[in-house]
Structures are given as structure tokens and as C-alpha cells.
């Protein structure tokens, strides 16, 4: 009877009848040793038949595997695919990435989010060229020493590219393991995570013969475990009826797969507003900043419009900031607002068009004006402060219509889109007005 049809019975009647409060086996012994070869063969056979055809699965090149693994961190596969292709077209080799300017790397990453990943990629590429002759290191200790490389990424790259026997442990794999062993509680507690890592290594075959072909490498096994978690053993809708290893799954036998693992508490959403000034001179140029500040992370520390953070849209405070930092006194024309989310922050983008005869020239460091006096807790008062005025090296004046030539965040793109839409609508409004006379 086909496993994919869901017709395989539990491996023994005792497991199926186990009461919900039964003590699960030790985490490191999720699958009995005598049954481990059958478990491995079943999963690898399913993976060979059902795996998704993804670009990074067509290569064992360590550089390309590394790029894919970094991009896939906290990012959906569908979102990564076009970025992966474009990034490798722009930086086809590790050496090309190491020699590139950081701004070029960030520009290629723009829109994918979590920009520290791109910065660490660039730093790590330089270190690999300088210390490892341009080849991603094969020893896990050396891989872990690279910027942005943790245990999961090191194990994934070394197992997939080089066949090294290191088991991966990410959210997908942890969920599979938790259900196999009916493991309750917070999986991310350090002690429990170490136990799960040991369990993942205990399941890892040095070489396992799949039902569909030749012996499979540790990289194939790791990808099979991740694929199972990503496609069938999903958080909210586990498809136990077609799971290739459901007969070994204690949570399935107990009828609690949907309840495991226990959800982690999410941080309470923080709501705030960013009031941003889109300066525009008669030549269509605007002003962008890149500076360290209390809200720079909201723009991913990339180029952005002058802005202040507050509890709600604050055009008066934005006007004072423009006057203090740039000597600008001009009317603020409100533009349509937009919604934006950064992790747990729910942000209202409140852009304003500011027409100027000439963009300010920032030639030396200046001091930001004192923060406004507010009757609020200290933590809120800090969040409502205006940023410091920029230094000359932190300023660019590109054409508004071409700011995407610089690395900018999604929030900045939304602000620019609102300004360009308003400007493009002006000729149409004027034309309609002339026709009405």
C-alpha cells in the first residue's frame, strides 16, 4: 500500500493506543535503532520523488549553496527565487562578491529585507578570499568564524556542498523532530535546542540508500528533513495522511500533531509613525540620508528621506527638524500615507512633499536640536526624539525618479511612490481644470 496514499498503519498497536499523558522517549532516541534504516530509506525515497525543483538544488557549488541559505533565512522560497538569480548574475563568483562595493551588494539585496545578511555576506566573502584562498572553508570551526554564519548555515553548506556529516537544525527540522517525539514546551530553550540538535545528528545517515537511486549524502538527508517540514509537516496544517514517515510519528499516533510544537509568545505590536520629507528642487532632485540614529533600523540603515519618529504624524516637528538640520523653511504638502511593517513594529508612513529652490548643501557636521519636551515615560520620550543632523558624507541628491539606483528600503520606496504619484497627477488635474473653463 502506498505511503503517499496514507494507508500505512502505525508501526505497532501499542503506539497507536498510547495515552496522551504517556512519557515520550528521550529526545535523542526518537527512532529505535532497529528501525532507523527503514525510516531513513522511506524519507529519502519520498524526497527523491517529491522534492521541489529549486535553482540551488541543481548545484553543489559551496558559494551558491551559501548564498541560497542566507537568502532563505526568515524569507519565503517564492520571494527568494528572483533575488537569487539576479544576485548571482551580478556576483557570479565569491571573488566577484568580495571585490564589489558594499552599496552594490545592498542595492542587489534591496527589497529582500534583513540587510545585515547582505552586509555579513560581503564581509565574509572578503575574509574567505583573504584567509581561505577564495574557497568556502570545509572545517566547521572555520565556517563558524565567518561573519553571519551560525551552526545551521555552516551545517547546511558543508553537508550539501561537501558531503560533510553535519545535521541541520532550523525551525522546520525542529518541528518535525518535536512531532516525531511528541515533545512539548518551548523548543527554543537552550537545553531543549541542544537536545534537538543531538537528535538530529542521531538520525543523520553517513550514507543511506534511497528507494529511488544511489546512496544519498548528508546534504540530501538534511534537505529531505527541511523539505518535509516546509511542505507536509507545516505549522498550521500538517498533512499526516500523506507523510512518508507518519508511522514513526508519536504526535500523529496521539492525535496531537496540530498542537505541537507549542507556539512561542509573540512580542506585542508597537505602533508608531514616521513623518518623512521628500525635498524636491526645480530639477526634480531630492535629498537622501544615511546615518546612524534611533530610527535608522526602520529604514534598514540604508538611504532614506529626512524623517522623524513619533507616536503619530508630526508635521510641526518635521518642520523644526528641517529648519534646524538644513536651514529649510518651506511648506509641507501632505502626501497619501502608507502602512509598513518591520518585525513587531506597525508603522504609519506619513510623507510630505517639500518644494525648495535649492537643495541644502551639507558640508560639515552640525548638531541636532534638543528633543522636544514631552509628558511621557522616558522610553517613549527617547522614541519621539528627532534625529541628529547629517554629516556631508551621509547625503545624496539623486533625481527622485531614480533613487532606486541607491540601496533603499521598502519603506523609502513607498514614500517615493507616494510623491511620484502625486507629481504625475498634477498635469492631469491641470488639464482637467483648463477644460472646465
pLDDT tens-digit map of 36-83: 999 999 999 999 999 999 999 999 999 999 999 999 998 999 999 999
More confident residue, 227 or 18: 227
- pLDDT, tens digit, 9 for 90 and up, residues 328-383: 999 999 999 999 988 888 999 999 999 999 999 765 433 333 333 323 333 333 43
Find residue 342's DSSP bridge partners: 345
Residue 69 annotated in active site: yes
Residue 268 CA to residue 270 CA, distance in Å, equals 6
Range with lowest mean pLDDT among 101-105, 160-164, 205-209, 296-300: 205-209
Quote the pLDDT of residue 427: 59
Quote the pLDDT of residue 319: 96
Q: Which of 2.40.50.140, 1.25.40.10, 1.10.340.30, 3.40.470.10 is the CATH number of 8-259?
A: 1.10.340.30
* Per-residue confidence band for 4, with pLDDT thresholds at 50, 70 and 90: very low
% the chain with pLDDT above 90 = 73
On the question of pLDDT at 210 being above 80, the answer is no
Q: Mean pLDDT over residues 196-214, rounded?
A: 72
Q: Which region, left, alpha or beta, applies to residue 114 given φ > 0 means left and ψ of -120 to 50 means alpha?
A: left
* Per-residue confidence band for 29, with pLDDT thresholds at 50, 70 and 90: confident
* Per-residue confidence band for 19, with pLDDT thresholds at 50, 70 and 90: very low
Rg (CA), the chain: 27
CA contacts within 13 A on the Cβ side of 350: 20
Q: What is the mean pLDDT of the chain?
A: 85
On the question of pLDDT at 24 being above 90, the answer is no
On the question of pLDDT at 436 being above 70, the answer is no
* Per-residue confidence band for 295, with pLDDT thresholds at 50, 70 and 90: low
Helices (H), 2-150: 13-16, 36-50, 62-71, 77-90, 94-99, 102-109, 116-131, 140-144
Quote the pLDDT of residue 20: 40
% the chain with pLDDT above 70 = 80
Q: Report the sign of the C-alpha dihedral through residues 186, 224, 198, 165, in that order.
A: negative
Residue 282 CA to residue 355 CA, distance in Å, equals 8
On the question of pLDDT at 326 being above 80, the answer is yes
Quote the pLDDT of residue 207: 57
Residue 270 CA to residue 293 CA, distance in Å, equals 18
- pLDDT, tens digit, 9 for 90 and up, residues 97-129: 999 999 999 999 998 989 999 999 999 999 999
* Per-residue confidence band for 300, with pLDDT thresholds at 50, 70 and 90: confident
Range with lowest mean pLDDT among 172-181, 202-211, 290-299: 202-211
Quote the pLDDT of residue 205: 87
On the question of pLDDT at 316 being above 90, the answer is yes
Give the largest CA-CA distance in the chain. 90
pTM for this structure?
A: 0.80
Contact of 226 with 201, CB cutoff 8 Å: no
Where along the chain do its domains lie?
A: 8-259, 270-435
Residue 40 CA to residue 221 CA, distance in Å, equals 8
Looking at domain 270-435, its CATH class is: alpha beta
Prior bond of 175 cis (ω within 30°): no
Out of 35, 49, 69, 135, which one is annotated catalytic?
Answer: 69
Q: Mean pLDDT over residues 296-300, rounded?
A: 80
On the question of pLDDT at 7 being above 90, the answer is no
Angle (CA) 273 276 280, round 5°: 165
- pLDDT, tens digit, 9 for 90 and up, residues 395-425: 999 999 999 999 999 999 999 999 999 998 8
Amino acid at each position: 500500500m502506498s505511503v503517499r496514499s496514507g494507508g500505512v498503519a502505525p508501526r505497532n498497536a501499542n503506539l497507536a493506543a498510547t495515552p496522551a499523558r504517556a512519557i515520550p522517549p528521550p529526545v535523542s532516541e526518537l527512532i529505535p535503532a532497529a528501525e532507523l534504516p527503514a525510516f531513513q530509506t522511506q524519507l529519502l525515497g519520498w524526497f527523491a520523488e517529491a522534492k521541489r525543483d529549486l535553482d540551488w538544488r541543481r548545484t553543489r557549488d559551496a558559494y551558491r549553496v551559501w548564498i541560497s541559505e542566507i537568502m532563505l533565512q526568515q524569507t519565503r522560497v517564492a520571494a527568494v527565487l528572483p533575488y537569487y538569480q539576479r544576485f548571482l548574475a551580478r556576483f557570479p563568483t565569491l571573488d566577484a562578491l568580495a571585490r564589489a562595493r558594499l552599496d552594490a551588494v545592498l542595492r542587489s539585496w534591496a527589497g529582500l529585507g534583513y540587510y545585515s545578511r547582505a552586509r555579513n555576506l560581503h564581509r565574509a566573502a572578503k575574509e574567505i578570499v583573504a584567509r581561505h584562498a577564495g574557497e568556502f572553508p570545509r572545517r566547521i570551526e572555520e565556517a563558524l568564524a565567518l561573519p553571519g554564519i551560525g551552526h545551521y548555515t555552516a551545517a547546511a553548506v558543508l553537508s550539501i556542498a561537501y558531503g560533510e556529516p553535519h545535521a541541520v537544525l532550523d525551525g522546520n527540522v525542529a518541528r518535525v523532530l518535536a512531532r516525531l517525539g511528541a515533545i512539548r514546551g518551548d523548543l527554543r530553550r537552550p537545553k531543549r535546542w541542544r537536545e534537538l540538535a543531538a537528535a538530529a545528528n542521531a538520525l543523520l545517515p553517513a550514507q543511506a540508500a534511497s528507494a529511488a537511486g544511489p546512496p544519498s549524502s548528508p546534504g540530501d538527508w538534511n534537505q529531505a528533513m527541511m523539505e518535509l517540514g516546509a511542505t507536509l509537516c507545516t505549522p498550521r496544517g500538517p498533512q499526516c495522511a500523506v507523510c512518508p514517515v507518519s508511522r514513526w510519528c508519536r504526535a500523529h499516533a496521539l492525535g496531537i500533531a496540530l498542537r505541537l510544537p507549542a507556539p512561542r509568545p509573540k512580542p506585542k505590536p508597537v505602533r508608531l509613525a514616521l513623518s518623512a520629507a521628500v525635498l524636491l528642487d526645480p530639477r526634480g532632485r531630492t535629498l537622501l540620508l544615511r546615518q546612524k540614529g534611533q530610527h535608522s533600523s526602520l529604514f534598514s540603515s540604508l538611504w532614506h528621506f529626512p524623517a522623524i519618529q513619533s507616536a503619530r504624524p508630526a508635521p510641526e516637528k518635521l518642520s523644526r527638524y528641517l529648519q534646524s538640520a538644513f536651514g529649510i523653511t518651506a511648506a509641507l504638502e501632505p502626501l497619501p500615507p502608507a502602512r509598513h511593517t518591520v518585525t513587531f513594529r506597525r508603522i504609519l508612513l506619513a510623507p510630505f512633499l517639500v518644494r525648495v529652490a535649492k537643495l541644502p548643501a551639507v558640508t560639515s557636521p552640525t548638531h541636532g536640536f534638543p528633543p522636544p519636551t514631552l509628558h511621557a515615560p522616558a522610553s517613549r520620550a527617547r522614541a519621539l526624539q528627532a534625529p541628529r543632523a547629517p554629516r556631508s558624507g551621509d547625503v545624496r541628491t539623486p533625481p527622485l525618479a531614480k533613487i532606486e539606483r541607491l540601496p533603499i528600503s521598502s519603506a523609502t520606496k513607498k514614500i517615493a511612490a507616494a510623491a511620484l504619484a502625486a507629481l504625475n497627477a498634477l498635469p492631469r488635474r491641470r488639464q482637467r481644470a483648463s477644460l472646465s473653463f
